[in-house]
Amino acid sequence: MDSLFIKGISGEYDVPTIRFDAITGSLEISGKSFLEDTLGFYIPILDWLEKFSHQAISIVFDVKLEYFNTSSAKVIFEMIAILSRFEHEGGSLIINWYVDEDDADIEEEIMEIEENLGVHINLMKVNNLDKFLNS
């Protein structure tokens, strides 16, 4: 299976960077996710992730998003649902979600995802997420 790489774009709409390495199992989504056609962008990514989860042994998923809108949040939830099934079927999974240390709203959202999907997410608090991601 080939790795998946999509370079992020900033503009009127923001496209996140996707780095899914099929060899190492290192998966990362970063930047901003504010898309005109959220499902059109993410469906091929979800398909790739679903296929990859059936052949992988170990996955590390890093979420490094400065901003994402509601429609992107739903898709990110679906990504984590796929990974949760992977883990429940015996795969090794680590999810690291990088957040600004003062962002209580995202912490609450992450806790809800953990409860709903029965998966553990490492909350990686950083001082000034924007600066951290762009350094």
Q: Domains plus CATH for the chain? A: 4-133 (3.30.750.24)
Q: pLDDT value at position 127?
A: 87
Question: What mean pLDDT is predicted for residues 50-76?
Answer: 96
Q: Is the pLDDT of residue 114 over 70?
A: yes
pTM of the model: 0.94
Q: pLDDT value at position 135?
A: 66
Q: pLDDT value at position 4?
A: 98
Q: pLDDT value at position 133?
A: 72
34 contacts 69 by C-beta, under 8 angstroms:
yes
C-alpha pair distances (Å), 87 with each of 56, 83, 95, 120: 10, 6, 11, 10
Q: pLDDT value at position 132?
A: 74
C-alpha pair distances (Å), 34 with each of 14, 64, 81: 5, 14, 21
Cα dihedral 19→21→24→29 (10° resolution)? 30
Q: pLDDT value at position 9?
A: 93
